[in-house]
Amino acid sequence: MSLEHAILGFLNYIPLTGYDLKKAFDASVHHFWPADQSQIYRTLARLTEQGWVEVKVIQRENRPPRRVYSLTEAGQEELRCWLTSLLPPEDARIPWLVQVFFAGLLSDDEILAIFERVAKQLRAKLQRAHKIPEESAAYVEAVGSPRETFFWMLTLDYRIKIMEAELAWIEDAIKRLQRKDQPPAEQQQ
């Protein structure tokens, strides 16, 4: 998925400012597609140049102008085309698994520290993911579509199940290391 298409998707619902888009990302798709504010603004500029998005500048008294972005017909067509296209296979890169792959060079305590660190991160991500339905309630209400909400929650359910499975695997690996279910470390000379 590209950031461009995620932004087109949000703007398909309602016109938004860059700031509001960031809030929408954080309250909905952050668990599988995070974006920072500068990425969003750079992408909005590109989408505007491509004619997929238009911007309306709203002047405000004693405050900077507000830039509200909305989807054009060309943007709607691009979104529909992307939604129905075959996407390339996912490139699965998990850096900490490279550490595990070569962990035979480390002591058991060092290896356990890797697993404990990743488990802690996953627990925090899971805790955050479980808060998403509450945090996205305003967007659910604004869009007002039970069908859209159903698909939004499907993505959350997917991500939670993946994280739970990964955490279960890590916790099992920790138990196996603690029980010494692996060959002993070779003596270093």
pLDDT in tens, 144-185: 888 888 888 899 999 999 999 999 999 999 999 988 877 766
Cβ within 8 Å of residue 78, ≥6 positions away: 5, 8, 52
- Provide the residue type at 19 as one letter: Y
**DSSP strands (E only) in the chain:** 53-60, 63-71
Burial class (CB in 10 A: 0-12, 13-18, 19+), 89: exposed
Residue 1 pLDDT exceeds 60: no
- Give residue 52's Cα distance to chain centre: 23
| CATH class of the domain at 3-83 | mainly alpha
Q: CA of 9: how far to CAs of 6, 18, 148, 163, in Å? A: 5, 14, 11, 25
State how far the Cα of 44 lies from the Cα of 3, in Å rounded to an integer: 10
Name the pTM for this structure.
Answer: 0.75
pLDDT in tens, 65-81: 999 999 999 999 999 99
The ranges assigned to domains in the chain are: 3-83, 95-178
Helices and strands (DSSP H and E) totals, the chain: 8, 2
